[in-house]
Chains A and B, each alone.
Chain A
Amino acid sequence: MTTKDEDEIQELDRVTIRFAGDSGDGMQLAGLQFTNTSALFGNDVSTMPDYPAEIRAPTGSLPGVSAFQVSFSSYEIYTPGDEPDVLVAMNPAALKTNLPDLAKGGTLVVNADEFNETNLRKAAYEDNPLEGDQLAAYRVIKVPITSMNARALKDSGLSPQQIDRSRNSFALGIMFWLYERPMEPTLHWFEEKFAKNPAVAKANATTLKAGYNFGETAELFPDHYRVRKANLPPGRYRNITGNQATALGFLTASRLAKRPLLYASYPITPASDILEELAKFKRFGVKTFQAEDELAAIGAAIGAAFGGALGLTGTSGPGLALKSEAIGLAVMTELPIVIIDVQRAGPSTGMPTKNEQGDLLQAMFGRNGESPVAIVAPATPGDCFNMAIEAIRIATRHMVPTIFLSDGYLGSGSEPWIIPSLDDLESFEVTSPTDAETFEPYARDKETLVRPWAVPGTPGLEHRIGGLEKSDTTGLISYDPENHMRMVAYRQQKVERIADDIPELTVLGKPEGALLVLGWGSTYGAIISAVQRAQSSGLSVSAAHLRYLNPFPRNLGDVLARFDKVLIPELNLGQLRMLIRARFLVDAIGLNRVTGRPLKIREVEEQIYKLVQQKAVSVA
């Protein structure tokens, strides 16, 4: 939907831009600045970085390409966009790896200076794609960014290498002009970021403006564009990534539970941000511990929980596998730890910087014996905050290890987040027993089946726990067959009863109909967007998104029963679908993608049309 006004400004509802270049080209910075500027301007925004797995791949090579996608809009959006409308390609390798995603008819801004023989060879181009008609399907705008940037900065006193490092700001300037963005926030940011190096700050400012002016005067672009403010719920906002929200959520949970937090973790992509983030919060009393390995990290979390603190550990899929045995120990000792799994593409080392939802069944069952745990999964970057608090609330109230299933797309993606007030958050103080007369380590609450969290330092409550089977009530070692049967059942029922303590599943759209699209985790944005579109075209389709995966919300069975068909899109081969089929005997249909990329709105939409129209046909 576009309208033209006299200043040749076209109005758009939504634009998706991808900045792509060499990992040294500063594409993440350019993308983040564009995002913050758009958010401050009042658009809704959603972002997705795409880093190379290699830290320092050779300059100009295909594996060395780094990209950042940002979608901004005048209405509420839930994903960073299926495909970019604009691709900024700083070199041939960036063009080659990102062109397949560019929308047909999309705009391509290329740094023409870099399309030289060496770079073309590194990108395995036989012919220069800027010549000939390979790019005929796109609007190609060739800009000699390297040389124009160099010219703008010839008097800056910087070395040629330093000058080249500001090319991203030139490109950003062009984009700012093209989409009518103010430059002030970025100019201000340069001053702060390069406070120690005013010459660099000045160079970036100069070239940013040069890029902007170039856009205005060069007449390479027939129009420029306006994306109006979005109509977002009122409040004070900031932009937040999922991993930042996760760190803040756990910190906040510690305040709400009035228990100190120990975060023990071993660096692993894409979860390391959380350790880095929490390590900055020392003044809040948070203790972070960079352990020697994954096993030590969870061991320390268990030790902290035994001591009455909140024991938290975080990892990605391979690390979750390593922690399995210790999670079993926490199941047996019924200690409240939380394990964060920021999932990535597997198996094994897989694709560390690419996304997948492959760990659901590992989280459910990846341990020896009958070993139930609670599982929660945030749906959006901002939701990581809420679900972190929920994870701690569930773990401490139900004395059960709880897995927080995030993923790389949520963790590094960002969205505007309404800054909460502490008063709006409910505290959930947890108690520990002190009465030596009545204390039994494995006596259970009649309703929740929870055992007391007795902590060292309490006189008269000295007791021993461990991985061996416990005798009901006393907690002494027991090999009694009936006791084992009873304890296995207790541990299972204890987790099942959490369902009474979590919200029911809500349905977006009508509570019954032809099709329910059921999802979990980071596919939320694509599913909601697709379902909303289909609904506005009159299709009988609703959506529901599970943020509690074990136990399921108590009304899930009822919700499923009200629809003729159930579609479960997942970034795996059908793990939730397997659980739903087993549990509810519902013949759910899968939409399964394992490309390392997030799910696309269009993919869900196509499937919805297929299923709902099939239905229409069969009724006819």
Chain B
Amino acid sequence: MTSVAPDPLPVLARKDFVSDQEVRWCPGCGDYSILAQTQKLMPELGIPRENIVFISGIGCNSRLPYYMNTYGFHSIHGRAPTIATGLKLARPDLSIWVITGDGDGLSIGGNHLLHIIRRNVDVVIVLFNNRIYGLTKGQYSPTSEQGKITKTSPLGAIDYPINALSFALGAGATFVARSLDIDVHHLIATLERAAHHKGTSFVEVYQNCNVFNDGAFIEFADKAVRPDRTISLEQGKPIIFGKEQNRGIRLNGTTPEIVELGNGVDESDLLVHDESRPDRTVASILTRMEYPEYPVPMGVFRAVERPTYNELLEGQIEEARSREGEGDLEALFAQGDTWVVD
């Protein structure tokens, strides 16, 4: 070791990412787990703490930045993607995380979510989907199931719900994943994949709001039934699920079918998961699989590379400079016809 070696980055631990703010979610809320996995993941990323920014909108989830000992911005309802975009364009060196929810991201901020994904701005978006408005105390949300009885839908919601992942894919997302608040290992692994993806990473996390929508996902997410009612997507592997690992998904045209392995059906008949398919069709079919018709796929649906918006913008600046040279302001002032008055 010579003295010219750069100082090694300080080794950070989870505690370095825990702010001094008291966490104020309801006891038992799924948000706690998402916060914990996020804090645990941060030191693994090797990014200096000061280069990380969490940006949120409004909703229970959007309190998360206060609990992260990084830079943070708790903004206004639905607009976090816009602030993240501006920050990323101005500061491409930063690692930016957008924290949003089903109301914030898919209702009041739907347009911004669409456009940040379409542009492939290099940020991670974590959408906490609890299928309810929690902060305003229990009105139905755009992901609430039809017929849901809430304070504002006493006879049942008549809205058809939106599917967050289909929406993201429709917008051309280059990284689309889903995880579950209580499946901590899966969650941290999914967030890690999202962090390493270049471009917009969109992660939907099923999050239980135990006060206003308790058990929203329990029918398939409960540990006892999870192996039979969910699918853990694995890259390059045939899609198999079930406690006994004896069932799989086969494509019949564009329709997924659940098949039992054996009796002439083997793994070679099954759909092989490939998150890197340039075409979005198969990923889209997977996002459309909803309980109870199908087991619910979890994991990474799509991960493809495509130049990011911020890279393309920097590229245009570089190109303009190499073509026309650095801008000369005084020459610009005097552009066009000029004349002199003595």
Contact = CB atoms under 8 A, between A and B. Distances in A.
Contact of B91 (A457, A461, A468): A457
Contacts of A40: 337, 339
B49 A285 contact: no
Interface in B294-342: 313, 316-317, 319-321, 323-327, 329-330, 332-342
Interface stretch (A174-182, A418-426, A563-571, A609-617): A418-426
B89 A304 contact: yes
B313 A287 contact: yes
A328 B112 CA distance: 19
A308 interface: yes
A100 interface: no
B101 interface: no
A232 B49 CA distance: 58
Interface stretch (A203-211, A248-256, A543-551): A248-256
Contact of A296 (B74, B82, B321, B327): B82
Interface stretch (B63-71, B178-186, B208-216): B63-71
Interface string A14-51: 00000000000000000000001001101000000000
B74 A467 contact: yes
Interface string B157-173: 00000000000000000
A329 B72 contact: no
A262 B310 CA distance: 12
A299 B82 contact: yes
Could you say which of A306, A457, A468 has the most chain B C-beta atoms within 10 Å of its C-beta?
A306
B332 A248 contact: yes
A289 interface: yes
Contacts of A333: 73
Contacts of A285: 317, 327
A238 interface: yes
B83 interface: yes
Contacts of B81: 296, 299
Given A262-B86, A458-B50, A462-B49, A238 B338 contact: yes
B65 A464 contact: yes
Contacts of B339: 39-40, 42, 236-238
Nearest to A328: B76
Contacts of A306: 73, 83, 86-87
B85 interface: yes
B86 A311 contact: yes
A295 B79 contact: yes
The bracket for how many chain A residues form the interface is 35 or more
B38 to A, nearest CB: 15
Interface string A220-251: 00000000000011111111000000001001
A284 B327 contact: yes
B293 interface: no
Given A456-B50, A457-B94, A464-B74, A252 B86 contact: no
A503 interface: no
B242 interface: no
Interface of B: 19, 21, 48-51, 53, 55, 65-66, 68-76, 78-79, 81-91, 93-94, 111-112, 114-115, 313, 316-317, 319-321, 323-327, 329-330, 332-342
Closest 6 CB pairs of A and B: A299-B82, A303-B86, A466-B74, A300-B86, A284-B327, A464-B72
9 contacts: A235-B340, A236-B340, A238-B334, A283-B325, A293-B111, A295-B82, A456-B53, A458-B50, A462-B49
Given A40-B337, A477-B66, 12 more contacts: A233-B341, A235-B341, A238-B333, A252-B329, A287-B90, A287-B317, A297-B82, A303-B90, A421-B330, A422-B330, A463-B72, A464-B74
